[in-house]
Structures are given as C-alpha cells and as structure tokens.
Structure 1
Amino acid sequence: KKEDLPPLPAKFWDLYPSKPRIVSTDSSFHDGKIRVNSHVDGLWPSHVYLEWVPNPESVKTLSACLDYVTQSLTAAIIKNRAIKTTDIQVRTLVHSELDVDLPLHVSLSDSIMIPANKKGLFKSAMISACEKIARNKLDLKFSAITRIYLNKTKTRAFIALVLNEDVHLSNLIKQVNHICRTFKKPEFHDLQPHISIGWF
C-alpha cells in the first residue's frame, strides 16, 4: 500500500520566488517584455533603490488597489492606445508567478550600466555618499495619486502609487545623482517618487 508523502516545509516555497531567468534578447522569454538596455559583456546592469517588504495586511491592500485601478483604467488605456501593444494584460508586482509575496521598491536611479572594472568603486562611492542620509528615518507615505509610467520605448507601462514628498528621500536622490555624474552615468529625474505595483 502506497502512503502519501509528507508535505513540503513552508520554507520550501520561499526558495524560488520567481521562475528561473533566461539570458536572451527574445521577448518571448520575458513575458513579452522588451529590454531597454541590451546585455553587453563587461557591463553590469545596475539600479539603486529602496526596498520595501509589505506585511500581509499591506499586501492585501495593494492587491485590492491594483484590481481597482486595472478595472478603472483598462478601457481608457485601450481607447487612447498609449502603448505599442494590442494585448493588454496587467501583471502584478506584488506576487510572483508562484504566488510568493515580493518586495517592492522606490527607485533612486534609472537603470545604469557599470563597467565590470568599476563596479566595486561605484558601489563603495554610493554607500559612502548615502549612508549618512540613510540613517535618518524616512517617513514615506502614499499620496492619493496613481499614475501610469511608460518605459523609454513605450513598450511597457507600470501602474504606480505616488509617494508624498520627503526631504530625506529627496536628499538621497541628490546624492545618487552626484555619484552618477561622477561616473558619467545618466541622472535620475523622477519628480514624483513612486512604488510600482503592476505592469502591462
């Protein structure tokens, strides 16, 4: 007589919060997403951001908010044809494909490409420039504003919750921009820091 195997431990499901990543420029390997920055040998795609791990109650609220925004805006998006696609399917950033809660982030920089031989210098300079400001308590709160942000090629859009102004966050972005200028990388000009909760 065959016996049922014991259930897997709960921690097992946290080992792989998302599907294995495939290095390819073919958009079919990335849920239809088209890379803005192509893979280049010797360059490290980098992104400076603040990470936020929502608690279970916040996850429920964010998911409900995404559902509401999706229902409210889908018709308008299709009508205005604001993006270069005919198949609009909103994907959540709150959960992974395996239904694991995901950390969200507040961007402090654009995507930047760092040469491999300068990766360590860039990281050290960024930590040194930001650590004093980072010691201050950030009082980040959501505003009542929801926006749709398009990527540079207008092939992808993000549903985002805009944050209220915070002086320490503004100073962090200024410090990150200073380091980017030093390394001759593009500065970040997001006048409304936000947290993306979905994309299409």
Structure 2
Amino acid sequence: MALVDYPSSPSSDDQEGEEAEPTPTTTATFKRKHDEELPPLPSKFHDLYASTTRVSTRDDPALHEGRKRVTPHVEGNWPTHIYLEWYPSTAENRSLSSLISELKNSIRADNATVNSSLTSDLGAPLPLHVSLSRPIGFSTEVKDAFVTSLECSIKSSGVRPFNVAVADLDWVSNLEKTRWFLVLRLHEPPSNSLNKVLHISNKVVQEYGQPTLYATPPEIHVRKSKSKGSRASQSDLDIKMDWDAMQNVSDAFHVSIAWMLERPSFELMATTKSLFTDGFGNMDELSFRAEEVKAKVGNLVTSIPLPGKVFEEKALWGG
C-alpha cells in the first residue's frame, strides 16, 4: 500500500522562539469557511454508527442520567423501532441549541435539568426522529420476516416522499409520566402522508403481535413464525393495507429535541411558548424531506425508500 506524501513541516529553527501569527487574510478566510453551511452527512453514515456501547446487563438508571427503561428487555428479543429521520443543518442545529440553552437558563433556580437530544456525549450532532412505532421487540426467528413485510408494504403503498414542517413547540410526557420531552409538533403534510406511513407501520407490527402507536388497535392477528431453515414465500410476507381503517392522529406527531425527568412547571411551559412565538419566530420555518422509513432492529438499521422516486422516473420516460 502506497504511503501518502505529506508536505514537509517548517524546520524547528524557523519556529524556535516565536509562534506564527495568522495574517488578516488567513483569519478572514477561516471565519468565512466556518460560517459556511457544511453539507450533511449521508444517511448511511449514521446507520453504520447507530449502535451504542452496552455498559450493563441490567436496567441501571444511574448509567442513563436517571432514565428508566419503560419497555422491559426480554432476553433473546431484538429491540425494534420504526421512524423517520431528520438531519438538521448546521444553522438549524444552532437555532435549536440556542432555544434549549434559553430554557436551561430560565430554570436555573429550580432543581430541574433540561437535557439536549441534539448532540452525543462527545458533542457530535445527532439525527432527530419522528417515531412510527413504540419500542417493540422480535425473536430471532421473526425479525427478518418482519423487516421484509415492512419493506413490501411500504414499496407497494404508493406513498411518495414528502416534506414535514414544524408547527409548534411543546412539552409532552411518556405514558408512565417518568420523562417529559421538549418536542417540535408537526404539520400534517399534503396527501396525509404522515398518517399513511404510520398506518403502514401499525398494520405490520400488529400482524406480528406488537402494540400499535397512537392509533386505537383493532383485533391483533399474530403471524406464525416459520421453522428454522424454511423460507417464507412472498405471499406470506405481503400485508394488505386497509386505507379505510386509517385513523387521523395528526396532532400526535412530533420530534423530540430535549428531555427532563421532572414535570415542567407552568412557568417553564409559558416560557417555552413565548420563546417559540417571540424569540425564535423562525422555528416555524423548519422543515425536512422524508424520503425513507427506517427500521432499527438491534443495532442494524434498514433504510426503506418511499417509492415515489421510482414511479416518477418511470412516468418521466414513459415506462
């Protein structure tokens, strides 16, 4: 393997006794490059690093800033989550970080702590999510068939890529009231696309005996798993969509950007609303393009493109 030929460094004699100071041109160039918008990392990059380091074999809130596992882990099951992913731009991330900082400053007198979801422990930007499922889990024998069924259902749904825009800022709790989340509520996109992808997700997880998200579930049909070594046919994996049964839960869709263990005070909620409408009025201009649904099973992420691009390309060329 060839070595990379790097340019030589200045000699120690040239640097001894003094440090080179940047010229005005260098400083201006650096500032200009720093202020320019960096291109987002590709979706596949985040998928490769979706795993987290497991530091304990039991649920220990002390290892997770006081958070408790809501869905108990079942030995042998693969934790699964279906979602849309949003990669805020540098400018968007900066605005959201400033908003969270303002909220942190407003509750300094309280014992409450607002924890940002925008960056990792090392300060790296993290993608944000619109959940399309609860935290669910599948056995080894079922997980691959589940993902294949989800892929088939999305590809045959006709749901095209769509834009999602932010509508409001609010605090919501989980069902157990053990955590509160600062969320960006979302407008329902044209063609009812968010409700459609949720309906697809709910239908598939329901067929595999898992609870639905937001929607009131009808009767659950549990699919029998194939024995090891046998292959499921395409008809076994296809799940028909009943669009007439789709429910409208547009008010429930959101993106979490921060969380806290304590219930927000009335003062904090009022401050949150005023920040969104007054101090951060451009928040309602935030939006992102949903082009794929992601299914994370264990540490493996499967990206399932929405089929609109294929249909549009065929129509363009008369196919």
TM norm structure 2: 0.50
Report the 3-state secondary structure (helix = DSSP H, G, I; strand = E; otherwise coil) of the residue aligned with 2:151. helix
Structure 1 contact 17–100 (Cα < 8 Å) conserved? no
Structure 2 contact 159–196 (Cα < 8 Å) conserved? no
Selected match of 1:20 from 48, 53, 57: 53
Higher gyration radius (CA):
2
Aligned twin of 1:55: 89
Separation in 1, partners of 2:87, 2:158:
17
**Percent sequence identity over matched residues?**
30
Separation in 2, partners of 1:194, 1:65:
17
Q: Which runs of 5+ in 1 are unaligned?
A: 2-13, 79-86
CA gap 1:120/1:17 in 2 versus in 1, 3 angstroms? closer
Q: How does 1:46-125 map to 2 (within 5 A)?
A: 46-70=80-104, 74=107, 87-125=111-149
Aligned twin of 2:19: none
Q: What's the CA shift for 1:158?
A: 0.8
Q: What's the CA shift for 1:18?
A: 9.4
Q: What stretches of structure 1 move > 4 A for 4+ residues in a row?
A: 14-19, 69-72, 132-135
CA gap 1:17/1:61 in 2 versus in 1, 3 angstroms? farther
Q: What's the CA shift for 1:138?
A: 1.2
1:155 aligns with 2:178: yes
TM norm structure 1: 0.78
Q: What's the CA shift for 1:172?
A: 0.4
1:151-193: CA deviation from partner (whole Å, max 9, x where unpaired):
2321111110001012112100011111011112111117321
Q: Which runs of 5+ in 2 are unaligned?
A: 1-11, 13-45, 216-248, 261-319
1:74-118: CA deviation from partner (whole Å, max 9, x where unpaired):
59xx7xxxxxxxx52111111111110001111111111212211
Separation in 2, partners of 1:69, 1:56:
20
Selected match of 1:128 from 146, 152, 157: 152
1:122-166: CA deviation from partner (whole Å, max 9, x where unpaired):
1111111123457612110001x2221212321111110001012
Separation in 2, partners of 1:132, 1:54:
29
What is the Cα-based RMSD across aligned positions, in Å? 2.6
